[in-house]
Amino acid sequence: DTAVSQTPKYLVTQMGNDKSIKCEQNLGHDTMYWYKQDSKKFLKIMFSYNNKELIINETVPNRFSPKSPDKAHLNLHINSLELGDSAVYFCASSQDRATEAFFGQGTRLTVV
Amino acid sequence: AQSVTQLGSHVSVSEGALVLLRCNYSSSVPPYLFWYVQYPNQGLQLLLKYTSAATLVKGINGFEAEFKKSETSFHLTKPSAHMSDAAEYFCAVTDQAGTALIFGKGTTLSVSS
């Protein structure tokens, strides 16, 4: 039973399209995250979402928007995709800052 | 601001040799520190964590790390490398607000027979 699951695992799309990545956690955690891993494997926080409080990394373009229908889900919607958006996107969840984050398997997004 | 620096983007060892992956942190508050491992095309898996309890932390797969406040370090070690340890390793610290993890740039560990 996967703790943090994301779909799809691979996503290839054209520039200018709008796409969504879904994430679900069954751990009962209060906080969920989206991270971006670039081609050099550098991981950077994009968003964290806790009890309806959204914290946005100021460097994230507003084309990216997280949507949380409930505590167990945090989807990532991306408008007007650009070549530079190509990366692996990881969803994660944690109970609080003193406990570890559990990561999904990642979604490899390729914009052509 | 919180940050971590991993010294050495690539470490190569022979099977059976000591593994030492270095991590230094900067934190304005008592840090929570983590080591994660990433195998190819997979997500990140927690190896171990430091949350202000014992300074020597034991993790999975025979790894351990020691928190040294005086050196602001949290180096990862394993006495004897195995081929299956070849992967990407990330050191991380929680940010000041406790809202997310800040990762180092990662260290690729290669293990040769």
- Residues of chain A contacting B42 with CB distance shorter than 8 Å: 105-106
Q: Which residues pair with A103 in a beta bridge?
A: A92
Tell me how far apart the alpha carbons of residues B105 and A11 are, in angstroms, rounded to a whole number. 25
Q: What is the mean pLDDT of residues B40-44?
A: 90
**The tokens of A103 are what?**
């990561």
| Binary contact (A90, B45; C-beta < 8 A) | no
* Cβ neighbours of residue B93 closer than 8 Å, sequence gap 6 or more: B2, B3, B4, B25, B27, B31, B32, B33, B34, B101, B102
Whether pLDDT at B39 is above 80: yes
Mean pLDDT score across all residues of chain A: 92
Q: How confident is the model at residue A98 (pLDDT cuts 50, 70, 90)?
A: low
- Residues A39-83 have pLDDT tens digits of 999 999 999 888 778 877 878 999 999 999 888 999 999 999 999
- Residues of chain A contacting B43 with CB distance shorter than 8 Å: 4, 90, 103-106
Q: How confident is the model at residue A1 (pLDDT cuts 50, 70, 90)?
A: low
- Residues B82-100 have pLDDT tens digits of 999 999 999 999 877 777 8
What are the angstrom distances between the C-alpha of A102 and each of A31, A82, B39, B50?
A: 11, 28, 15, 16
